[in-house]
Structure 1
């Protein structure tokens, strides 16, 4: 069976769905691995390295001839329509935002596995791409903040005087948030963090941060995510967060709700209330943003209320792709492990009695199998 790895078509995407290491892992499963020339170049993986691992490097990937297509970013509707019936796809699908592609996958008879839908259970941890990529993103966003911040992060005591440490506030203590806390702490900042999930307090402390208690804890939702707050509680949350935001030199927001727009945690007035030179980095910018006025892929200067300068609002876009080598290393293992789960003796045949495969399946046999996405499609038609 032919498993294809192509060049990513989305602008700015530098990751690849297989590394030479995982290509060798797939070859060992008994499948033929076809890698489009240059697919791994942006991630630092040469065509020769793939060939040495046993893959066939081809000038152009004929997707209509593949049995399995592995990808990073969601396919376009045109790509989905070009696949033959029965093809299996594995990759990120952003089903809530890519309904046209989902519809095209179903119409083409493709069996699509969306890595966002992999159940968050112990047995599926090695296939959990959301976690692996959030790890990369959480590290990267702190670096983006540090580069823009006009002061040091750590405390320095010198003969010329003492430089106080930067005060970093992280909103959202999921995988990305915890990694941001740890990275900022390692850079020497004084770090505090907030999350509506009660269980996150111990995790924040374990990473060296100080947990901010607002007495507004929400009940934890499914999969370890927070459940969305009602509007009145969301307003109260912003009111309680305002003084903590104003006291921060660097604000990092990472809160997300799967399949929904990012919750608004910080208003433009709260940003303007920060000191001149402060930095705000919003990891959720691509899904609407946690911060009012954020623009994905852009730095937006926000004049301070005091009128003495600006606060820089940074809208992160594809943060994990900014570190393509290690992001691809982790992502490719997620893909290979999921593919291995449905492969035996060189034959890729998903067993939908397996809760991991059933949970991750987006489309199959001409139908959208993920209920929330199916409902969204019905509502859009």
Structure 2
């Protein structure tokens, strides 16, 4: 297992880091504090800059105009993009679009790719993924209450979804619905179809996702059979195709944010004087910086190891769960320590760290809370032990 980065990947890493520093970070103050994610105008400008830099949608297949990055390459590039909260939006690798692009690339038909995927890869459209429900599916997708019933050459979909990231302003939606036989299927629909209602935007701690988190209602939404994503009854299987890599890309992007917070704390600790010397020379602050470094490296190694496994063709479900728990909790500890080091500055808009703190707390819940992943891991550990005996 060799984690040596190729000259090509090192060059791409450097290009991405330079782009974020020179083209993205200067635009951070363009986003208003009360916005639920970057405005469409800001997103369009960020995408334009990334396109000019040759960095737009780098994870997409080359035949669609992307760079076809491996999982390991994504780990490097996505961390650099994540150094700014706007970086993933600029590179078109933000959630949920990044996961949807991966899923569509794996499962969609050629016609579906041309209709929905290609414009998305080009940065002209956005998407959302509607699975979570107010009283139904969440961490347990088996609790799906949204239904799909066959009606001639189409399906009628009924149900309510919430925490649908990016729904406001999305051009199309991937809907998870339960069939009459109890299986699940994914459906594709334009957001402006009759039967799709955008009810409201939820007030959330984070504001880094374009379109925020929305509540959707499907009322006799008619979806042609040609717009079924993949095969009927395989929705749960496709969810794993999407979620295992998507958990890891969350870890990659948030690692960049944690590193940004750490850099801010280091710079402050070097120059801020307290009790006759810089904060960094006080043992308590120094220990926190050292702990940050250890947590950042631990997270990175988990990401790289899981990415390597995925590149070998392994499913990586267990390892992606492990990485999700380790990274979300380690990166959260880093940002929390940074707030403490910055003191009053850290709890105000005078520092980017406050925003990172608010955005990152939800990471321990998104794509499965730590408790669910620990439970899933424990089951597999016990099953594996029984198989060995």
Q: TM-score range by the shorter chain?
A: under 0.3
TM-score by length of 2: 0.27
Radius of gyration: which is bigger? 1
Q: Counting helix residues as a fraction of each chain, which structure ranks higher?
A: 2
- 1 or 2 for the larger relative contact order (CA 8 Å, sep ≥6)? 1
